[in-house]
Amino acid sequence: MRNLTELTDLIGKFEAIEPPLQGFIKSLHEKYRPLNEGVVSDYLPELAKANPDWFSICVVSADGKIYQAGDTDRLFTMQSISKPFVYGLALEDRGSEEVVRKIGVEPTGDPVNSILEHEELTEGRYNPMVNIGAIATTSLIAGSDPSERNRRLLEMFRRYVGREVSVDESTYISKKNKNNLHRAMAYMMLNFGTIAGNIEEILDLYCQQCSLMVNCRELAIMAATLANGGVNPITGERAIASQYVKNLLSVMYTCGMYDFSGQWAYRVGFPAKSGLAGAILGVVPRQMGIAVFSPPLGEHRKSERGVKVFEELAERFNLHVFHGVSQEVTVGRCERGFDRPPRRSDRAKLGNKTLSTPYLETEEERDRSGNGIHSPFQDFLEQLHQKYLPLRDGTPYLSEPDLVEINPDWFGICAVTVDGDVYAVGDYEQPFLIQSISKVFAYGMALSDRGRDYVLQKVDVEPTGDAYNSIVKVEESSKRPHNPMVNAGAIATTNLILGNSPAKRLNRVLEMYKRFIGHKVFVDTPTFVSEQHCGDRNWAISYLLRNFGMIEGSIGETLDLYLQQCSAIVNCRDLAVMGATLANNGINPMTGTRAIAAPYVRDFLSVMYTCGMYDFAGAWVYNVGFPAKSGVGGGIIAVVPGQMGIAVFSPPLDKRGNSVRGIKVFEELSQRFGLHIFDPTTSVDTFLQWMRETRT
């Protein structure tokens, strides 16, 4: 999360840092120009004619300054990069509610041209970045006839680019002639009633949008327009209503790189879109747009040079959207040798205390929790509690009937800031099982024990859009589980936790929980035993993983530890403190104890953001917009980076296994206080300051 005042200062420093920034871009161009990897796409004859040596890089700041290297004037076709911009036009034409009802926002984990199953189509389990979703998006463009729709499409791109754009006729004709797969997709959607209209007219417009000619500098300007809240920083013209910018950036972040989106979010960490011509467009919100053009494509059909350039830019200038949790994020840091002043959170402050040793709150300070606090934020939490307490939707999870008492009316909300201030209402001290929320923290232990590179060899970070207990979700080539949040990935992660014996491994897990929460945590033995006897699916997953070499050692011991970590007893306030610890760069704001090494906080938040809510992850990013993890015990933990942790506890679950009341509360909190990380109209930093100033 970036303070807008700081970013304004950053942009003001661009003149001063121009030589280092321009020099670094030039050095990247020189470094990767000799690269002889990747293959030029032969999907269309026009694409196959591209010279593999073409290579350009451009960065455009949100105030219009341009930094570039290579032949940034060379024209090429947009191809799939057109999709998010057309999606934006559909949002303006139809409104987000109608568009989301017709086109989902869930990442699929599949390549661009995948044909979906009947259930996936009828339930909208696709997104506007894959071809089938992009065709549906194009069908929503308003206009009385094809000519008007085409005119409106070209006018929209003119606002982004800053000039009149035109179609490359040769590419357009080739694409139309090779349109059988797209035609099959469109008629399949028409058959199931998911699109309407003249299919040939829809496909014609789709082919035209993909055949528009731009250059690398213009792509960077388009990206900078999104970074600038929808206003073209060169012309000053608004290209899209600011309210829809976060929607575009959300789908670009989770879906823009197809089956490489998770890795991109993990390593690069800002919204992007690629195309088969060899271009990649990236948006650093509120800061800049970046574009790279280089035709040779590597794995996942992404520009080989482009991916490497973006990875180095993100690493060099700390552009990952979650890097700001642990370090001041400015491109200008290169001017200061990457130093930074000590953060308030680094000093582990609580209120007006500076903590040099672990701190345990007093009973008097514990009494401040919940209704003892007077602030507009506390008042709003109480209003949300009153509003949703009567809600009766959903069903609590039971591993075994009559094993434990679960009251569907239990409902608690708690927020803990990085200052250690606690806001709570309802049943926030009611104990419950952490369940799948444990997966995030077990992943952190695996990272600490084995290191990032080793863990990635065993468990990937790709969202799939599938339920948490999908049994067959391992990657086709590597056989890794897709991510550590689904059961297969979580079991593989638990297998990586070190310890000389089962007891020592369990003790390490409980000690980890203690660092995050601030007090001892215990395992609910009856639940653990019950889950042991209902775990055939987990045994099946485990044998599959061992068959592929993804886990080793005793399956029984691994599953016992996995079930024990899920059977830990916590309450809503505990979860909020755990979330605040992640928001505070891994330091527990209540005790001053470091719970996790700072470099791994970004990893936590990345997988929570893209995978933490399973087959609701895309919708969560779209509507709520900050990292979260749910559990079938009824808890949801969320992190507003650099600001606070928020938790909701309410046992009734929806069909995806998420707390019904919890989802409602988080959606309202995000909307009311502008907490979405891609919202260009608000700053959560100023929100935290407002909380400090209004608390009495």
Active-site residue, selected from the candidate residues 600, 614, 659, 683: 614
DSSP 519: S
Query: Binding-site residues for substrate, please?
Result: 80, 131, 206, 258, 436, 487, 531, 538, 562, 614, 632
How many CB atoms within 10 Å of residue 495?
25
CA distances from 416 to 457, 530, 578, 581, 640 (A): 35, 33, 9, 9, 10
Query: Binding-site residues, please?
Result: 80, 131, 206, 258, 436, 487, 531, 538, 562, 614, 632
Active-site residue, selected from the candidate residues 284, 309, 521, 632: 632
Active-site residue, selected from the candidate residues 126, 266, 468, 562: 562
Active-site residue, selected from the candidate residues 175, 302, 349, 439: 439
β-strand partners of 292: 57, 280
- Angstrom distance (rounded) from CA 81 to CA 20: 29
Residue found by looking up tokens 């000093």 in the block: 347
How many CB atoms within 10 Å of residue 311?
15
> Is 439 known to be catalytic?
yes
β-strand partners of 56: 70, 293
- Angstrom distance (rounded) from CA 365 to CA 55: 60
- Angstrom distance (rounded) from CA 206 to CA 345: 49
> Is 632 known to be catalytic?
yes
Q: What is the CA radius of gyration of the chain?
A: 25
CA distances from 586 to 217, 600, 642 (A): 39, 8, 10
> Is 87 known to be catalytic?
no
- Angstrom distance (rounded) from CA 98 to CA 90: 10
> Is 562 known to be catalytic?
yes
Question: Under 8 Å CB-to-CB from 659, ≥6 apart: which residues?
Answer: 394, 630, 634, 635, 636, 648, 649, 650, 651, 652, 653
How many CB atoms within 10 Å of residue 4?
14
Question: Under 8 Å CB-to-CB from 443, ≥6 apart: which residues?
Answer: 455, 459, 484, 490, 493, 603, 604, 607
Residues 245, 249, 251, 252, CA torsion sign: positive
Active-site positions read 436, 439, 562, 614, 632
